[in-house]
Every structure is written in structure tokens, then in C-alpha cells.
Chains A and B, each alone.
Chain A
């Protein structure tokens, strides 16, 4: 296992202070030496006994969760259930106090930082759409493209014909082909959400984490988003965090309910909604 799992004061100091610096040395310019993801056992994400505390509050309490290759999983739960913290752990923003997180069988997520995790093939969509408002739609996708992202390479980087095609294909997929040269800041809320999904796709991720994709969307936009997410699963695994139960019903095969940093229930939407524990948590709110 990696050194990041170190416990105690020394471990904490190591994780907070020394490790980022060592990481900078170790990973310098090594984008091309990225290990190839191995998910041959059929599971793409292993979270085991993940615990995260903030000043004594346990945001995640020994959370254990597995996501299969090609699966579309919905995660629901009341506010404070730990949904966003879980995404933070997977994408390297938050380091857990205990537990392990593996991407496929061979990539230890706790040993990597955010850019490395993104390059390893995990894409994340935020709750609030965050696109680069001052760049054109096309440039947003260009910047999100998979490949070497070291500063020196990008000083002279030129788009190849293939890369242009890939951007064009993504523009088409998310329905923004006509808005290609528009400033991203001028897009509607729904279009920004799609652009952000398009940006994730340009990274050619194996796992997509999508935080509340339909918040603030019109019914038509919601429907299009559902179609889009369904079309993405299969080739990739998709994890969606969502409050909108109708939306969850329309896309999910398996739903995981989080509560107080733990998995409360897991199953099809009907099983979950019939579960007395789930009913209690939701009605008790």
C-alpha cells in the first residue's frame, strides 16, 4: 500500500506537508508514464471503509461502495449525507483519515492528486456548472482534451485534424455544434451543464462523477440530460448524485442511499423506496 495511509501525528504531517512536495518531484512531467487502468475484474471503483472527519464531525463514516464497469449509478441522500465529500475523496480534493480508494485494481487514488486522478480517467462535473466563461465553447472542449498537459508542451501545441474531429463529435453529442464559437459565458444554464459534460467527455474518462446535473433545468432540458447520461453509460461508468427523484427513476438501474456518511440502502429504485429505513430518514427530515 502507499505511504498516504500513514496514521498518527507523523503520518498526518507527512500527508499534509511533505507528500505534496514529494509528489511534485515524483510526478514531474510524467503524464505519459501514466499507468493504464486495469478493471478486468469488472469493478471500476472500490471505496472501502472511507472515513473523513471535519473537526470531529464525521462526514464519511467507514463508507464502502463499489461501482461496476459500464454502470450508471445514482446516489441519493439527504443534505449532509456525505455525497459531495465522497466525490471529493475520489477526485483527490479531500484526503480521508482512513480507508482505501482504488480505481480499477491497480490505481491507488489516495496516492494521486487532482490532476493525476483526472488524467487517470476520472471526470467530475460540479454541482454549479463551471465552464470557462471567457473562452469559446470550442476552446472549452479543446482545453479539456485528453493528452499531455504539461506547460512546455502546450506552448507550441497545435490541434490535429483528428482532435478537431473529436471536438466536433463532442459538440454534436452535447448539442452545441451551432454554438461552437460562442463565448461559454453567453450560454443558457442548461447549455452550460451540457458543455461541462462535453468537457468531461473530452478527457476520455472511464468514470464520470456527475453532481446534480439537472438542478435548475427546464423539463425539456432534464429529459435531454437523462438521454445524454444514459447514452454515456456502458462505455463508461457514470455516478450521478441527484435530489430529483423523478430524474433518478428515469435513469437509474441501481440506487445507493447515503445517510450520515454511510450506505443506508442499495438496490433498484423500487426496492429502495420501499425500504423502511429509507422512508424513515426521508420522512424524518
Chain B
């Protein structure tokens, strides 16, 4: 009897058990990294097995969302910081990448100005704003992908956590933060392309963005970033730092009274999470080909929270799963029945909250746990 029970428990544990679920995650990423380039580049276009470049890019987009979801899970699932403004960091990373891509257009723009991006010519600007200098160099632009969201998170978090703003109040000011940035980036005078944002990108590091191989390369870069980001999050959550973070989530004042500077822990975790979100944004922009202020919209950040809740928070891979599933559903719905999508999303959130409080991963764990 005992033996049987032990055996029955094994497959469940292999798939979703506390320590093994992440192997499945790495396995899936590895399979994607091998199969997607093969099916797109090596299999001829007429074949039934051929994967269209459109699909490759779509998957790359989902995976950059998955990285964003992991970033949100890190602060929400592990530390109880419900950030409803994480797409602000995502968009900032995206804008940094977008500015680099804009400068790569050079004289190939509509107005053929060798220095000024089209929207600046259109606005009758005569010279490049100071903060656009240096963005023509990849090596100078990429640090900004990390620094812009990281610094914003550092300043915002320093004030918020220092003042012990928690719970719903913190969520509200994160919404305000992303909304303020939305309004700021809408303004033409900001010099980020206003309402239209940055688009019409041509090439990245000299590779044509419309070329299949470049698309596959971007997809692989996204897979790699997701794997590395995930590994970093796992290292953090498995360390004693991670245990302190969980302790803060469960009993904040207790943690403080045994001598931990709670605000420092929250701050560094938040900054790291913002950096991950920024990287996700930078990978997203060349694949979708545009970045505009709508990425800052508060609703987007709320959607990310729904992805995490659907997949299962406090698991990291659950967040990634949720991001991919919900976005797949979104792609399908907005093509088939666009007017239904928001209702479906709302319904999904209700169903998950009521019936799957631990998300899909939590549900599967429970089922497999019960089966054994």
C-alpha cells in the first residue's frame, strides 16, 4: 500500500512538485529554442510543419510578456507588493530600445534627415535633444534599458517603502505612477514621439528587422533572457534573502522586530523586478515594431497581474504560463470576437479568483497531491 502510494506520487511531483516544476520550464524553453528556428528556417514554406515568421514573432512577444509576468510574480507572489504599475518599467525599457532603433533608421526615414528621427522633423525641431545623444550606439543604449526602469524603481521605491506605504495604497500609487508617465509620454514636447511613439524601425545591430533570420534571432534572445531572468529569480528566492522576503510578506512587523531593515529588502527586490520588466520591454519592441504611450496604460499593468493570478503566483513558472495562455487567448479572441475580449478577461479573473485561488499551477499541484 505504502509503496503504491509513493509511486503514484512520483509523476505528479516530477511535473509540478515544488522543486521539479522548474525543470519542466527549462525543458520547454530548450525545446522552443531548438524547434522554432528549425521549423521556421529549415522546413520549406510549403510544408505542413513550417512555422510562419508571424508565429515566431508572436511567440517571441508572448515570451517577453512571460518575463514581465515573472518580474511581477517576484514582487507580488513572494513579497506581497501588488504593483499595478509594472508596465511602466516595461515601457521604459521598450523606449530605450526604441530610441536606439530610431537612431538606426538614419537617413532612410520619410524626411531623410540623417540625424533627426521623422517625428522631430515633423515638429520642426532643428537639433537632437540632449537625451537622444549616444542612442545611436548599441553599447550606450542598452545600459539605459536597465538603468531607466531601475532608477525609477529605486527612487519610487525608496520613498514608498521608507514611508511604509503598503497594500492597496501602494497599488494605487503604482497606478498613478504609470498613469503619470502615460500622460508625460503623450506630450510631443517630451521628445519621445508623442501619441505615435517610436516606430518604422529598420535594423538592429545591422540586421534587417524584417528578415526571417533576425526574427528568429530575436526570438532566441527572448528565450535566453527569459531563462536567465528565471534562473536569477530562482536564485534569489532560494537564498536566505528570499526567505526573508517571504517572511516580510507573511509578517512584516515581526521581520522588522527581529532586526531586518524591511524597506531595504523590498527596495532591492522591487528594483530588480523593474530591471527584468525593462529587459522584457526592450525585447518586446523590436518584435512588435512599435512603442507608444499606450504601453503605460494602467489597464496593461492590471492585465499582467491577471496573467500571474491565472498561472499561479509564488511559483515563477506559473506566471510565465499564465502570461502565455492569457495572451494566446487574447490573440484568438481579438481576431475572432474582438468585442468579447474584455468580458472574457473579466470573467477569467473572476473564475480564477473564485475557483482557482492558487492559479492553474496551484490547482494542478493540489490535484496531483490529492491523487497521491
In this complex, how many residues of chain B approach chain A with their Cβ under 8 Å: the count is 26
Q: How many residue pairs, one in A and one in B, have C-beta atoms under 8 Å apart?
A: 85
Return chain B residues, CB-CB under 8 Å to A139: 243
Which range holds the interface residue count of chain A? 35 or more
Return chain B residues, CB-CB under 8 Å to A133: 250-251
Instruction: Tell me whether B29 is interfacial, beta carbon within 8 Å.
Output: no
Tell me whether A135 and B236 are in contact (CB under 8 A): no
Kindly identify which residue among B236, B241, B257 contacts A118, using a CB–CB cutoff of 8 Å.
B257
Tell me whether B241 and A149 are in contact (CB under 8 A): no
1/0 contact trace for B243-266 toward A, CB 8 Å?
110110011011111111111110
1/0 contact trace for B208-252 toward A, CB 8 Å?
000000000000000000000000000110011101101100110
Kindly identify which residue among B162, B240, B246, B259 contacts A132, using a CB–CB cutoff of 8 Å.
B246
Kindly identify which residue among A126, A149, A156 contacts B261, using a CB–CB cutoff of 8 Å.
A149
Chain A residue nearest to B267 (CB atoms) is A151
A window 191-206: CB within 8 A of B = 199-200, 203
Tell me whether B264 and A151 are in contact (CB under 8 A): yes
The minimal Cβ–Cβ distance linking B288 to chain A, given in whole angstroms, is 34
Return chain B residues, CB-CB under 8 Å to A93: 253
Kindly identify which residue among B236, B258, B261 contacts A144, using a CB–CB cutoff of 8 Å.
B258
Instruction: Tell me whether A94 is interfacial, beta carbon within 8 Å.
Output: no
Instruction: Tell me whether B156 is interfacial, beta carbon within 8 Å.
Output: no
Return chain A residues, CB-CB under 8 Å to B263: 24
Tell me whether A151 and B268 are in contact (CB under 8 A): yes
A window 40-78: CB within 8 A of B = none
Compute how far the CA of A134 lies from the CA of B243 in the bound complex, rounded to whole angstroms. 10
Chain A residue nearest to B265 (CB atoms) is A151
Return chain B residues, CB-CB under 8 Å to A142: 240, 243
Tell me whether B265 and A135 are in contact (CB under 8 A): no
Return chain A residues, CB-CB under 8 Å to B250: 132-135
Return chain A residues, CB-CB under 8 Å to B251: 130-133
A window 177-215: CB within 8 A of B = 199-200, 203
Compute how far the CA of A155 lies from the CA of B244 in the bound complex, rounded to whole angstroms. 10
The minimal Cβ–Cβ distance linking B238 to chain A, given in whole angstroms, is 10
Compute how far the CA of A199 lies from the CA of B254 in the bound complex, rounded to whole angstroms. 10
The minimal Cβ–Cβ distance linking A130 to chain B, given in whole angstroms, is 4
1/0 contact trace for B145-170 toward A, CB 8 Å?
00000000000000000100000000
Chain B residue nearest to A134 (CB atoms) is B250
Tell me whether B247 and A154 are in contact (CB under 8 A): no
Compute how far the CA of A285 lies from the CA of B108 in the bound complex, rounded to whole angstroms. 87
Return chain B residues, CB-CB under 8 Å to A135: 243, 246-247, 250
Return chain B residues, CB-CB under 8 Å to A231: none
Which of B235, B241, B258 has most chain A Cβ within 10 Å? B258
Tell me whether B241 and A151 are in contact (CB under 8 A): yes
Return chain B residues, CB-CB under 8 Å to A150: 261, 264
Return chain B residues, CB-CB under 8 Å to A27: 261
Return chain B residues, CB-CB under 8 Å to A216: none
Compute how far the CA of A231 lies from the CA of B253 in the bound complex, rounded to whole angstroms. 27
A window 91-147: CB within 8 A of B = 91, 93, 114-116, 118-119, 123-124, 126, 130-135, 139, 142-144, 146
Tell me whether A155 and B243 are in contact (CB under 8 A): no
Tell me whether B239 and A156 are in contact (CB under 8 A): yes
Compute how far the CA of A118 lies from the CA of B253 in the bound complex, rounded to whole angstroms. 12
Chain A residue nearest to B235 (CB atoms) is A155
Tell me whether A118 and B259 are in contact (CB under 8 A): yes
Tell me whether B258 and A143 are in contact (CB under 8 A): yes
B window 258-317: CB within 8 A of A = 258-265, 268
Instruction: Tell me whether A157 is interfacial, beta carbon within 8 Å.
Output: yes
Tell me whether A143 and B247 are in contact (CB under 8 A): yes
Kindly identify which residue among A20, A131, A155, A199 contacts B239, using a CB–CB cutoff of 8 Å.
A155
Tell me whether B240 and A157 are in contact (CB under 8 A): yes
Tell me whether B247 and A118 are in contact (CB under 8 A): no
Compute how far the CA of A151 lies from the CA of B244 in the bound complex, rounded to whole angstroms. 9
Return chain B residues, CB-CB under 8 Å to A119: 259
Kindly identify which residue among A21, A91, A130, A154 contacts B240, using a CB–CB cutoff of 8 Å.
A154
The minimal Cβ–Cβ distance linking B266 to chain A, given in whole angstroms, is 10
A-B contacts besides A24-B263, A151-B265, 5 pairs, CB < 8 Å = A130-B253, A132-B247, A146-B259, A150-B264, A203-B258
20 CB < 8 A contacts A-B:
A20-B162, A27-B261, A123-B258, A126-B254, A130-B253, A132-B247, A132-B250, A133-B250, A134-B246, A135-B250, A143-B243, A143-B244, A143-B247, A149-B244, A151-B261, A151-B268, A154-B244, A155-B240, A155-B241, A200-B258
